[in-house]
Structure 1
């Protein structure tokens, strides 16, 4: 497979994780503590997803042995 879909998907998910992390900090600063944990958890989940996409890309690029 080409690397363009993997790179795009990984970049978009990492940007989403960054935006959600910033939102979590803003929520904490504005006193919405009840939402901070959920948003922060989802932010970490986006970073993990981005890392797994990169792992999939690396594994897909390896030569296959039959």
Structure 2
């Protein structure tokens, strides 16, 4: 499973989540309060997704022991 791009996928999702987090602060500073909650929620969902991709990567590298 070393050839599968789990690491780059997780990093890309985390970078997008970080960008959405910064966008949340910009929206709040510019007075667009009605969009802050949904953008912040999307950012949190992306961080969770990145963490689950890493978890999948770790579990896929373990040898199967039946």
TM-score by length of 1: 0.95
How many residues get paired?
66
Moved over 3 A (4+): none
Taking only aligned residues, the RMSD between alpha carbons, in angstroms, comes to 1.0
| CA apart distance, 1:65 | 1.6
| CA apart distance, 1:2 | 1.5
| CA apart distance, 1:15 | 0.1
Residue in 1 that maps onto 2:17: 17
| CA apart distance, 1:10 | 0.4
Residue in 1 that maps onto 2:39: 39
Residue ranges of structure 1 left out of the alignment (5+ in a row): none
TM-score by length of 2: 0.95
Report if aligned partners of 1:14, 1:46 keep a CA contact under 8 Å in 2: yes
Deviations 1:9-58 (A, max 9, x none): 00000000000000000000000000000000000011000000000000
